[in-house]
Structure 1
Amino acid sequence: MSFSSEKDTNFCFPIPDVLENDKVQLVPFIRLVEGFDANTWNYLSYGPFEILGESACRANHATTTFTILDKVGPLAVNGEPVIAGMVSYINSSDADACTEIGFVVVLPQFHRTHVTSNHAGGLGLRRLQWVCNTKNYPSLKVAERMGFRFEGVLRWSRVVPPKKAIGYKAAPERKGDPRAGNGGRDSAFSSCCWDDWEGGVREWVDKVMARNK
């Protein structure tokens, strides 16, 4: 697994030079594969990958991806941060001042720790959304814990390959389906908007991020 200090200059929003707090640091993503077991990808419409490179992550103007570094956990030895996962801003729009936290993958040894609640940084936008598989209950709980407001379910929102069996719908048995043989997923949408943030969510998130575990 690798990371770099080079910024993603193709992203539609300016990225601060430093994205970190006292617990985690986000650095530009290059390659992140090792350390993930098969269950990591269960509820995601993508993966697993043999190699997921920066060229794929940086090709989209609406997307930028970071490696999550843990600075204080037991695996961070002698002050050296260790890779804990990856996270992206996706479906971003500078015209509409919004983005989505997506491609969130945290290594198994960092589940239920401060890493999950500390990796998300803000860009001062109007809307930040969180979209996940309706069967991905841990992800739904994270969104709720971080102050996101549940908005609803978008049915059959993703087409997924046949190898995806956990948390997905079976392929439709219908004539003329352009993606015949592929399953699908329902997506749960949650959001935190500027008025939520300024109306108390910011203080709530500060408390959640202050947890020591």
Structure 2
Amino acid sequence: MSPAFVNNFTPPPATVYPDPDSVLASKEPYDINFSFPLHFDTLACPTVRLTPFVPTLHARTLWEHVGPRARELFRYYPYCPDTLAHFLSVVENIRRHPDNCAFAIFDRTRRPDGPGGDSPADSEDGTLAGVMALINTSKQHKNTEIGLVVVFPAFQGTHVARTALGLLLRYCLQPAAASPPGLGFRRVRWSAHPHNKASIKLAKRMCFQEEGVMRWTFCIPNVEEMKREAHGVKREGEDGWGRDSVCLAICWDEWDRSAGYGVERLLQQPSGQ
């Protein structure tokens, strides 16, 4: 008697990182592969604007700022890109899912002829300051998560992170019929390492509600910077260390009731406040 099922699974090929020179030399328009409309008015305010991350425009400058401190900046992540090629593979994994999108963050208070404004990725409307993405999005259930949050060291402690987050929240949670329009999502998630107090503080300032701790959600790389931040317990015979996640979220009813007004006020503040 023949079996009722077979298992023809074969392991996927090992990850091959793209050649940065080939990616960054491309003359073809970059396909962001995004299934949602882009509302650029919603994604901008007087001090910050967001635009889809395009490797040929943004990747080299980003890595100049991030690369030397990658192990520090990614110490809470389940990956630690140690080369530009590795970082480009992270962006490509986001791009492949049509409901996700990575955004470049531009600080509009720093012009190309001002401090820090001399890089090739700068435009006439601000200076590249970091990256932030929509990940793990469910179009059916109208929810998403904000991840790949990396702000250049020179811009940390400024208005950039909170304003960029506020813009993404407005873009996600505003109804489509609102002015400016949004995507009408019901829920936006935020996940943080329990030791990452700055991340949790930022989320709460932007009206996210803490919902609990999910235990052992990630395996983080076996590098010293991350080992010190982990539980200090490693399963015998396994590489890497475990990570819990503090889970926070903001939902459409909270946005409509009061959070949206608070975020809008923040978006209109001068950069120094």
Query: Aligned partners of 1:65, 1:182: CA distance in 2, in Å?
Result: 27
Q: Is the 8 A contact 1:98 1:127 kept in 2?
A: yes
Matched residue count: 207
Provide the secondary structure at the position in 2 that maps to 1:33: helix
> 5+ residue gaps in structure 1?
none
Query: Aligned partners of 1:11, 1:134: CA distance in 2, in Å?
Result: 31
Per the TM alignment, residue 28 of structure 1 is displaced from its structure 2 partner at its CA by: 1.7
Letter in structure 1 aligned against 2:227: A
Q: Which residue of 1 aligns with 2:162?
A: 117
Distance 1:198 1:7, change over 3 A: farther
Q: Which residue of 1 aligns with 2:115?
A: 75
Q: Is the 8 A contact 2:192 2:246 kept in 1?
A: yes
> 5+ residue gaps in structure 2?
1-23, 118-122, 173-183
Q: Which residue of 2 aligns with 1:130?
A: 190
Q: Which residue of 2 aligns with 1:47?
A: 80
Query: Aligned partners of 2:37, 2:260: CA distance in 1, in Å?
Result: 21
Q: Which residue of 1 aligns with 2:103?
A: 66
Query: Aligned partners of 1:7, 1:15: CA distance in 2, in Å?
Result: 14
Distance 1:198 1:22, change over 3 A: same
Per the TM alignment, residue 159 of structure 1 is displaced from its structure 2 partner at its CA by: 0.8
Query: Aligned partners of 1:143, 1:156: CA distance in 2, in Å?
Result: 21
Letter in structure 1 aligned against 2:38: I
Q: Is the 8 A contact 2:185 2:252 kept in 1?
A: yes
1:8-157 → structure 2 map (5 Å cutoff): 8=32, 10-18=33-41, 19-29=43-53, 30=55, 31=59, 32-36=62-66, 37=69, 38-51=71-84, 52-53=87-88, 54-73=91-110, 75=115, 80-120=125-165, 121=168, 122-123=171-172, 124-157=184-217
Higher normalized helix content (fraction of residues): 2
Q: TM-score, normalised by structure 1?
A: 0.86
Higher normalized strand content (fraction of residues): 1
Query: Aligned partners of 2:210, 2:229: CA distance in 1, in Å?
Result: 19
Q: TM-score, normalised by structure 2?
A: 0.68
CA offsets, 1:92-144, max 9 Å, x none?
00100001111100011111211111113222210011111111100000001
Per the TM alignment, residue 167 of structure 1 is displaced from its structure 2 partner at its CA by: 2.0
Letter in structure 1 aligned against 2:36: F
Letter in structure 2 aligned against 1:11: F
Query: Aligned partners of 1:129, 1:138: CA distance in 2, in Å?
Result: 16
Distance 1:153 1:59, change over 3 A: same
Q: Is the 8 A contact 1:128 1:192 kept in 2?
A: yes
